[in-house]
A and B are shown apart, each in its own frame.
Chain A
Amino acid sequence: MPTRRTFLKAGGCALVAYAAAPRFLLRTARAAEANGKVLVAVFQRGAVDGLSMVIPHGDAGYTGVRPSIGLLPPRRGESDRAIDLDGLFAFHPALAPLVPLWENRALAVVHACGSPDTTRSHFDAQDYMETGTPGIKSTPDGWLARAVKTRPASRTPFRAVAMGPALPRTLQGDVGAISMQSIERFDVRAGTDASARQGFESLYEQGVRDLLHGTGRETFEAVKMLRGVNAARIAPANGADYPRGQLGEALRQIAQLIKANVGLEVAFADMQGWDTHVGQGAERGQLALRFREFGAALAAFAQDLGGKMADVVVLTMSEFGRTVAENGNRGTDHGHATAMLVLGGGVRGGRVYGRWPGLAGHQLFEGRDLAVTTDFRTLFAEVATRHLGAPAAPLFPGFTTREPPLALFA
Chain B
Amino acid sequence: MKGGARCGAARSVLPVLIALGALAGCGATAAGAAGPAEPITGAPPAGGAQPTDDRRILHALSRLTYGARPGDVERVRAIGLSAWIDRQLGPRTIDDSATDRALAELTTLRMPILELLREYPRPDPKLREKIASGAMTRQEMQERYPMEKRPIRIAAELQAAKVVRAVTSERQLEEVMVDFWFNHFNVFAGKGDLRWYVSAYEREAIRPHALGTFPDLVRATARHPAMLFYLDNWLSARPDFIVPAGPNRGRKAGLNENYARELMELHTLGVDGGYTQKDVTEVARAFTGWTIDRPQTSGRFVFRSAMHDAAEKVVVGHRIPAGGGQADGERVIEILTRHPSTARFVATKLVRRFVSDTPPPALVARVASTYTSTAGDIPAMLRVIFESREFYGEDVYRAKIKKPFEFVVSAVRALGASTDAQGGMALARASAEIGEPLYLAQPPTGYADRGETWVNAGALLARLNFALGLASGRYPHVSVELSALVAGADPGSPSAVLDRLLAALVADQAGPATRAVLTAQLGDPQITRLTTDDRGPANTDVAKLAALVIGSPEFQRR
Contacts and interface: CB of A to CB of B under 8 A. Distances in A.
A238 interface: no
B551 A203 contact: yes
Interface string B525-556: 01100010000000000001001100111001
Contact of A166 (B18, B258, B435, B526): B435
B261 A121 contact: yes
Nearest to A216: B460
B49 interface: no
A218 B461 contact: no
A277 B256 contact: yes
B493 interface: no
Interface string A109-144: 000000000001111100000000000000010000
Contacts of B553: 203-204, 206, 208, 210, 212-213, 216
Contacts of A121: 261, 265, 271
B142 interface: no
Contacts of B39: 208-210
Nearest to B458: A180
Interface string B200-223: 000000000000000000000000
A205 B232 contact: no
Interface residues of A, number: 71
A19 interface: no
A176 B11 contact: yes
A222 B551 CA distance: 18
B465 interface: yes
Interface in A253-285: 272, 277-278
Contacts of B253: 328-329
Interface string A307-345: 000000000000000000001111001000000000000
Contacts of A208: 37-42, 511, 513, 553
B256 to A, nearest CB: 6
Contacts of A206: 31-32, 37, 511, 513-514, 517, 553
A9 B491 CA distance: 38
B521 A199 contact: yes
B464 A200 contact: yes
Interface in B386-426: 401
A44 interface: no
B365 interface: no
B113 interface: no
B141 interface: no
Contacts of B445: 123
B14 A153 contact: yes
Contacts of A165: 435, 458-459
Nearest to A222: B457
A124 B271 CA distance: 9
Interface in B440-482: 442-443, 445, 451-462, 464-465, 468
B21 A186 contact: no
Given A123-B445, A166-B435, A209-B39, A8 B13 contact: yes
Contact of B455 (A186, A190, A212): A212
A77 interface: no
B192 to A, nearest CB: 9
Nearest to A180: B458
Among A6, A206, A210, A277: residue with most chain B CB under 10 A: A210
Interface stretch (B2-10, B328-336, B373-381): B2-10
27 contacts: A8-B21, A9-B9, A9-B34, A11-B26, A12-B29, A12-B32, A15-B24, A120-B277, A123-B445, A162-B456, A165-B458, A178-B456, A185-B462, A188-B465, A196-B468, A199-B521, A200-B548, A202-B520, A206-B517, A210-B41, A211-B8, A211-B451, A277-B256, A328-B252, A328-B254, A328-B256, A329-B253
Interface of A: 6, 8-15, 24, 120-124, 140, 153, 155, 162, 165-167, 172, 174, 176-181, 185-190, 193-196, 199-200, 202-219, 222-223, 272, 277-278, 327-330, 333, 366
